[in-house]
Amino acid sequence: MKITDIKATTVTVPMEAPLRHSNGAHWGRFVRTLVEVETDEGISGWGEMGGGGESAELAFAGLKYYLTGHDPAHLEELRFKIANPTASLYNNRTQLLAAIEFACLDIIGKKTGQPVYNLLGGKVRDTVKFASYLFFRLPDEKTGKGEVRTIDQLVAHCQELKDKYGFTTHKLKGGVFNPDYELEAYQALAAAFPKDKLRYDPNAALSVEEAIRFGHAIENLNNDYFEDPTWGLNGMRRVRQSVRIPTATNTVVINFEQLAANILNPSIDVILLDTTFWGGIRACVKAAAVCETFQLGMSVHSSGELGIQLATMLHLGAVVPGLSFAGDAHYHHLVDDILVGGKFKYKNGAIATPDGPGLGITVDRGKVAQYAELYKELGGYPYDRDPARPEWFPIIPNDRWADPTIPG
């Protein structure tokens, strides 16, 4: 079997309300570049890039000539063709590799009649549990609904998600308001849901000293882990030495060199495996084996997925024995998806891994066309700008927590 064509399409899919975090706001929608890989046997597969846009489409177009004639089953050769680790100074193609690998695994599974999880060694669980992934949110521009700004709104939103989807783990995405306000909000969640697990992630917006102070204040709560409270392996190491909560990251351990550095001089207790950041499902499975060897915790990370990437997250979660924490997913914030039949369904806070050949999904070409047109209409968005505070930069410490929208 040979690759004959690679087609990239950028879509934007709306969410219930704009999500806020330390690097700005998602402006109420996700932008993703989808890739379809076609073969000479008439079998095609789908991939999804973490983010995307016109430049991503051009990058995939550049790979078309390079990969035409490649056997999609030769995945190690594919890795060296796209993101040669010995030539890392000359390329940064991990996300491209991930999307192409997703599509190739989808093709191999369809060719053999096997789900991707069987290509990866077979599943050890049928469903993958997820956390509620709570954000402070701006109101939807059209309806005016969906705002999460006050602590009462946050707790009510968490209860709504728990009732609707069955979540028993709750992650607060912080770094938006003053740490003291977010501490109060986090403590309110703990009081409202005393039997549930909690995790806090300010997207590395805190200084080491702020992170240590915040960590000391929540040590007595039912925490899963303290995710990226500050930046860098050394900063995280200092927090880990001072706070009695496991540390976690999806920012400073996202490749094997960083994983080795963390094992030699520990900073992180829980590695959050992202199928796009690491360069594919197979890289995450390899990393999981290293984590298992050195007894590091693991979870599945979310980078703003649509249904294609969510399927890769489910296949990853199905095959990793040491998956000790509920995964992350932005998915429940979306109002729609690009899959036939609509969005994946949650049951008791979990989603079942699809059993069909390949990724086990069918992409709705009508939906792809619809949301590609919406992208052409709306374009991209300034990811690092929160429309509620356009003058705010996360890298400037002075007055960065001054925000007139905080109640009181």
The residues annotated as belonging to the active site are 173, 301
How far apart CA 391 and CA 397 sit, in angstroms, is: 13
Helices (H) and strands (E) in the chain, counts: 12, 14
**Pairing relationship of beta strands 134-137 and 169-173 according to DSSP bridges:** parallel
Answer yes or no: are the C-beta atoms of 193 and 163 closer than 8 Å: no
How far apart CA 357 and CA 237 sit, in angstroms, is: 43
Q: Residue 43: CB partners within 8 Å, gap ≥ 6?
A: 1, 107, 110, 111
Q: What are phi and psi of 90, to 5 degrees?
A: -105, -5
Length in residues, the chain = 408
| Residue at 372: amino acid letter | A
SS3 label, residue 9: strand
Q: What are phi and psi of 204, to 5 degrees?
A: 65, 25
- Give Cα 12 distance to the centre of its chain: 16
Number of neighbours of residue 54 by Cβ within 10 angstroms:
13
Could you please report the per-residue DSSP string of 76-127? HHHHHHHH-GGGGGG---HHHHHHHHHHHHHHHHHHHT-BHHHHTT--S-SE
How far apart CA 309 and CA 49 sit, in angstroms, is: 8
The residues pairing with 183 across neighbouring beta strands, listed in sequence order, are none
Give the pair of three-digit tokens for residue 124.
């050890």
The residues pairing with 72 across neighbouring beta strands, listed in sequence order, are none
> CB-side exposure of 271: number of CA atoms within 13 Å?
30
Answer yes or no: are the C-beta atoms of 133 and 302 closer than 8 Å: yes
